[in-house]
Amino acid sequence: MKILIGVVTALCLLFPIIVNASAATVGNVKTLKGQAYIIRNKTPLEAKAGADLFQNDSLKTGADGSMSVVFIDDTLVSVGPNSELAIKEFHFSPADGKMSFVARLLKGTSAYVSGIIGKLSPQSVRFETPVANIGIRGTKFAVKIEGDEEESR
């Protein structure tokens, strides 16, 4: 019986580690100002400097907000006031030849500076907007979307 209790206790302690291992951090918040949120599983979380980001998170800022993030391949992305950017896909495993970065700017402004993925595999980077996709062939750009995504459809 003591062995069974020990096994159950060990599994309970390890379960959170095992669950979190499947959700790899893709980057984190570097700086922020004003109202800035991370939207995770449709739930807004107040952004804080150093907060981890995961694939499928979105960055959202209020009228006085801005946020910059650094991804694990050293890609830098900033969003300005009244912006929303979704991290649709991020894979960074150069040893396995798996690299991709796909983001979608739903509204507002964003600036991008290439990291390792953009330098080694530029065809694997795509920045989507409601009206066009931006393929990466350089190392930096800025984009502004006026109006809401619904207006652009």
Residue 37 lies in a domain: yes
- Residue-number span of the structural domain to which 84 is assigned: 25-152
Residue 8 lies in a domain: no
Average pLDDT, the chain: 84
Average pLDDT over residues 100-111: 95
- Nearest-10 Cα torsion for 126, 60, 28, 103: -10
pLDDT band at residue 92 under the 50/70/90 scheme: very high
Average pLDDT over residues 80-91: 97
Please, which residues have CB within 8 angstroms of residue 37's CB and are 6 or more apart in sequence?
A: 44, 45, 46, 47, 59, 60, 61
Residue 120 lies in a domain: yes
Does the pLDDT at position 132 exceed 80?
no
Residue 12 lies in a domain: no
Residue 125 lies in a domain: yes
Residue 59 lies in a domain: yes
Residue 131 lies in a domain: yes
What's the alpha-carbon Rg for the chain, to the nearest Å?
Answer: 18
C-beta separation of 57 from 81 below 8 A: no
Condensed to tens digits (0 to 9), the pLDDT of residues 23-73 reads: 799 999 999 999 999 999 999 999 999 999 999 999 999 999 999 999 999
DSSP 14-47: HHHHHHHHTS-EEEEEEEEESSEEEEETTEEEE-
What was the pLDDT predicted at 142? Answer: 85
Residue 6 lies in a domain: no
Number of domains the chain is built from = 1
